[in-house]
Structures are given as structure tokens and as C-alpha cells.
Structure 1
Amino acid sequence: MTMTTLRSTISPFLAVHILLYGLLAVSKAAFLNAQIAFVSAFLILLGSLYSYRKLVQRNLENETAIHQEDLVEKIDDPYDLYSESEEEVEEEKPLKDVIKEEKARLKANKATVRNVSKSTPALLSVYRLVPYGILVLGFIALKNNNMLSLWYFLPGLAAGIVAGFLSGKALFASR
């Protein structure tokens, strides 16, 4: 990892962290609310980016990446009326047959156990579950000690999301 990547990864975290220390002038509770929310949101975002990056890399290595049609083309021409390939024009089928074919096509597109199991490692990654645990336990601890203030907690979450995105972009997009 180069020094520039390291600097651009740590900079958002440190910048927001320094701003959070200014909340100590307001109160200790305000600082703790913003701190717990910021750190947990930051770690959740980094964990999510990392686990999905690993999932995509694993799929590319195994060549299981699904080739998807161009989304814009699918929206513009959902029934493939303007395709360049010249196909034989089929005779009109009875309505019952058309309905059966459409039902079969829709069933094939539904999430199957196999498709869900491919994305489960990214969903149940330790890199995501531990930060969510920190968020929930921190929230409960603040609430039980009558220190919870959403006026400081929610901006802390927002700051964690922004800093986590910027750090994750610098850390994972540069490779």
C-alpha cells in the first residue's frame, strides 16, 4: 500500500475524529453519542465494502460472474423489439401457451437457494456483523445510562457513513 493510499484512507477518519473531540466542550454524553455512532457506521461501511469486494473477486476467479444484459437496453426495449439479429417470426401462439411461457420465465428469474447462497458470505461476514454489534450494544448502553441523544447520535452516523465511504473508496478502489 502506498503512502498516498494510506493517507487518503486515514484522513477522513482523523478529520471527523478531530471534529468529534470538539463535542467534549458541549458534554461528555454528546461526545459519546457521536463517537459510538461514528465509529460503528465507519466500520460497518468498511466491512461491507471489503466483504463485497472479496465476493466479487471470488466470483471472478471462479468465473461465476453472471453476464447481465445492458440495463439501459433492457429498459428501452424490454421485449427485444429492436434487436439487430433477425429471427424468424413465429406464428401466433394461443394465449394459454404464452401465459405458461411467461410464468416459466418469471419462475426462472426468482431468487433460488443457489443464488442466495452465493451472496450469503458477504451478508454474514464477520467484518459486517461485529460493527453492527458495536452499533446495537453502544445504542443500548447509551439508552440504559440515560445518555442517548439522537441530536448527536444521528449526525455521528452520517459522518461515519461519509468518512467510511471516502476511506473505502480510497482503500478498495485503488487496487
Structure 2
Amino acid sequence: MRLLAPALGSLKAPVALVEPPCAPCAQGLAYSVIRAEQVLLLRAKRSNDQLWSAEQILKASTCGAVLLWQTHARADALLRLLLAARSSTSLLFVFRPIREASDASLAELRVAVRPAEEGVNADIIKRKGPKFEGDLTVNVRPGAALMSARARSRRAVLPFEIEARATGDAFA
């Protein structure tokens, strides 16, 4: 979230979080310059309901961004999301486990994100244009817990993959 916070914080429209791994924290959102009243939290037990909800939000273009966490997404469901995103003014981010990185996807941009000492390492799995060669480390502001005098011990963080769609002169 801290990696996306600058883009999400600049949006005027709401940001929809569809089935995030944990409930957003108001203080954490404020620290990331995302207004808590701007966040819509959607919970759905079934994967089909999560995908359908994200697709409907994209079709309606009522949110500035849709962030969807999926552990098992079929290729046809991802295609429907991509088509809805292409006709929408909303940004779309799909978070999937790193083990899904080798699966085929029609996403225009795929990034594998892993924790690093300085922030995060981003591996460009897929993008338009020539293959990206080299390392990409993004410095992110430390989390509020790390700034505390009672900072938590460093926990093992699992890497994840972000799928995004291109929009005009920026990427989502």
C-alpha cells in the first residue's frame, strides 16, 4: 500500500479495496496520505463475488481506483476485468501471490514486489516494449510501527505480484 499511496492519495474519487488481506487502519491510511473516508471496503466470501464486484465498480467508473486481492483467479475472469478496466476511468490493481507470476496474463504491466532493506525490489515480469533488464529498488517511507520507539521486530514478509493496466501517459 505504501508503494501505491502517492497515486491513491492524489485521487479525488473513492478507492475501493476488494477483499484486502486485513482491514485498513485509519492511522495507517492517514500516514500514507489516503483519507479514510475515501476508502470503500468490500468483503465477499467467494472469489466469483469478489471479481464480479470489482468488474461492476470498473464499469460504473465511480471509484478512482480498485484494488483487488485474489489468490485464485481464472484467466477468463482476469480477461473480463481487463476489458472492464480498459473502458473505465478507474485505475485497477490486482494483487496475486508470487506463485502466480509464471501464469499467463493479459495484463499490460506485471510487477513482482519483494521486501528489501531500502524499501522494495520490483521485478518487471511483463510490460509493453522491450524487456526490462536490471534491478529496480523503490525506497518507501517506513511504516508507522517502524517509526515508533516500540517498533516491532522485523517480520518475514511474503512477496506479491501487482498487475496493472496502462492509462494514457501513466500506468496504474
Larger radius of gyration: 1
Fold shared per TM-score above 0.5: no
Task: Judging by fraction of residues, say which structure has more helix.
Answer: 1
Compute the TM-score of the two structures, normalised by the length of structure 1: 0.21
Task: Judging by fraction of residues, say which structure has more strand.
Answer: 2
Q: Higher RCO, 1 or 2 (CA under 8 Å, sep at least 6)?
A: 1
Compute the TM-score of the two structures, normalised by the length of structure 2: 0.21
